[in-house]
Amino acid sequence: MSTEDKKQHACEFEHEVALKVYIDALLLEPEAIEVMPETVVPVAEQVELATAIEINVETPLEVAEAETASSQKIDSPAELMAPVAGEIVEYLLFKVAGFLTLSVPLERLNGIVKWNGEITPIPGHADWFLGLISNRGRQVKVIDIAKFVIPENHKSRQAVEEERQFKHLLLVDGGRFGLVCDELGQVLKLSADKIRWRDNRSSRPWLAGTIIEQMSALLDVDSFIEMLKEDTPLDDVS
Amino acid sequence: MSQSEEAENNPVTQWVTFRLEDETYGVNVMQVQEVLRMTEIAPVPGAPCYVLGIINLRGNVVTVMDTRSRFALPPHETDDATRIVIIEAEDQVVGIMVDSVAEVVYLKQSEIEVAPNVGNEESSRYIQGVANRDDGLLILVDLDKLLTDDEWKEFNSM
């Protein structure tokens, strides 16, 4: 089998897996609603899984996302991020505004693209919503994550304005959102006990916890995207 | 009055003293776990202004309070004398950053005057008393009241 064939085969396989996850999720839905009526939004779930399938062809990371997404939805919101004890999860560290090291679970990323500066500003939105960028024919909402996570009145805010240099876009939510970052860091393979998980998430729900050794703030991608969607009520143009 | 009566009616307490700007403050030694030299403090995104960041203390994450901001003092460059005092307050281990740590002093109950209720409420809330000493006034801080209940809760969930 040639490499091309293998690739094609792998794609088909991924497609199958994703489809199964999708159907399973649909079957599971009524039960899930019963368990967590306030957290499960069936429509959103379908949409999310549907995009996951679509992008599957592009990146194998997606299968993992689709699987975890369907199993996580049944959990309580506090447990959304915390992996099973002993399970090793990969996290990507990245730097914003020159001083803040954030991290995301690698499997929640849909890709990383170089920042080329060709952005279409959309006026009348929050200052952390920079505008739209076109990536592979899709419109990506570009988020200045440093501005999002550091309150306007905070003393480090000035550094955010001065130090930030856009180098990369981290794509999340099936490529709908792109988070600008200065610098990509290392990828860490960590078990859950290397992270201090926050138990009280009433404030800053997007902050899942802290990677202890690197003292890096770990993003809860799901909650983060939820908040972005609330505040960027643009029609999905993609 | 016998010595034991004296001890009962006029107990001696120990206070770790530190400097902030031009004042000397004291915190109860029973609440002090250790004193650290300045170390790397990682910022916490979205944290309120009274939080400087977090430090890694032998594998535990400890949140460090911006004591200057809490005491309404201007920011100050850290230097060789800067210390992070690790304290226990409201069942949490937290760090407070101070300009320098001086000594441990012994105070009899009778030497402690209840703080006059002057100034704004914000600062008088956490001052539990003052003691007149040869080298000036010592302000005794009630660590548990440095933050309000809501702020402690927020602090705990850094």
- Residue A31: its pLDDT value, please? 41
Q: Is the pTM of this model over 0.80?
A: no
Fold classification of A88-231 (topology level): OB fold (Dihydrolipoamide Acetyltransferase, E2P) (2.40.50)
The verdict on a CB contact (< 8 Å) between B44 and A155 is no
Q: φ, ψ for residue A129 (rounded to 5)?
A: -95, 100
The amino acid at B81:
A
Over 60: is that where the pLDDT of A39 sits? no
Q: Which residue of B has its CA nearest to A154?
A: B49
DSSP-assigned letter for residue A98: T
Q: Would you give per-residue pLDDT tens digits along chain B (158 residues)? A: 566 777 778 899 999 999 999 999 999 999 999 999 999 999 888 888 889 999 999 989 999 999 998 888 898 889 999 999 999 998 889 999 999 999 999 999 999 998 766 666 666 788 889 999 888 899 999 999 998 888 888 887 77
Dihedral sign of CA atoms A144, A149, A154, A155 in order: negative
For the stretch A47-73, pLDDT in tens is 444 333 333 333 444 334 434 444 443
d(CA A17, CA A13): 6
- Whether B157 contacts chain A with CB within 8 A: yes
| pLDDT for the residue numbered B1 | 58
Domain extents in chain A: 3-75, 88-231
Residues A79-92 pLDDT 10s? 456 667 778 999 99
Inter-chain touch B55–A215, beta carbons under 8 Å:
yes
Element (H, E) at A15: helix A3-35
**Mean pLDDT within A188-194:** 93
> Would you list which residues of chain A are within 8 Å, Cβ to Cβ, of chain B?
99-102, 149-151, 153-156, 196, 198-204, 207, 210, 212-213, 215-217
Contact A91, A106 (CB under 8 A): yes
Rounded Cα distance between A220 and A180, Å, is 16
Bridge partners (DSSP) of residue B26 are B17, B140
Which three-class secondary structure state does DSSP give residue B85? strand
B7 touches chain A (CB under 8 A): no
DSSP for A186-222, written as a single string: EEEEEEGGGEEE-S--SS-TTEEEEETTTTEEEE-HH
Give Cβ neighbours of residue B34 (< 8 Å, ≥ 6 apart): B85, B86
Q: Kindly calculate the radius of gyration of chain A based on its CA atoms and give it in whole angstroms.
A: 18
Measured distance CA(A206)–CA(A225) in Å, rounded: 8
Chain A positions touching B157 (Cβ under 8 A) are 198-203
The DSSP element (H or E) to which A94 belongs, if any, is strand A88-96
The DSSP secondary-structure symbol of A2 reads: -
Q: Which of A190, A186, A187 is nearest to A85 (CA)?
A: A190
Of chain B residues 28-67, which have a CB less than 8 A from chain A? 40, 42-49, 53-56, 59-61
What is the rounded CA–CA span in Å between residue A179 and residue A161?
Answer: 16
DSSP code per residue over A74-85: TS-GGGSSPPPT
Of A102, A200, A210, the CB nearest to B61: A210
CA separation, residue B138 to residues A19, B9, B22, B57 (Å): 70, 22, 11, 29
**Would the CB atoms of A199 and B45 count as touching at under 8 Å?**
no
Q: How many CB atoms lie within 10 A of CB A202?
A: 9
B102: contact with A, CB 8 A cutoff: no
The stretch A159-168 carries a mean pLDDT of 78
Nearest residue of chain A to residue B152 (CA atoms): A200
Domains and CATH numbers, chain B: 3-156 (2.40.50.180)
For residues A227 and A205, give the distance between their C-alpha atoms in angstroms, rounded to a whole number. Answer: 9
What local confidence, expressed as pLDDT, does residue A21 receive?
54
- pLDDT on residue A82: 64
Query: Helix or strand or coil: residue A92?
Result: strand
Rounded to the nearest angstrom, the minimum Cα separation between B145 and chain A is 21
* Spacing of C-alpha B87 from chain mean position: 8
Helix (H) or strand (E) holding A178: strand A177-181
Cα separation, A130 vs A132, in Å, equals 7
**Contact criterion met (CB < 8 Å) for A201 and B49:** no
CA–CA separation, B22 vs A85, rounded Å? 50
Count of alpha carbons within 13 angstroms of residue A54, beta-carbon side: 12
Residue B97 parent element (H or E): strand B92-98
Nearest to B42 among A199, A201, A215 (CB): A215
| Shortest alpha-carbon distance between residue A167 and chain B (Å) | 20
pLDDT at A41: 39
In order of A61, A108, A131, A204, the CA distances from A87 in angstroms are 17, 16, 37, 25
Strands B23-28 and B136-141 turn out to be: parallel
Q: CB B42 to CB A216 under 8 A?
A: yes
User: Which one, of A154, A86, A114, A133, lies nearest residue A237 by Cα?
Assistant: A133
Looking at residue A76, its pLDDT comes to: 44
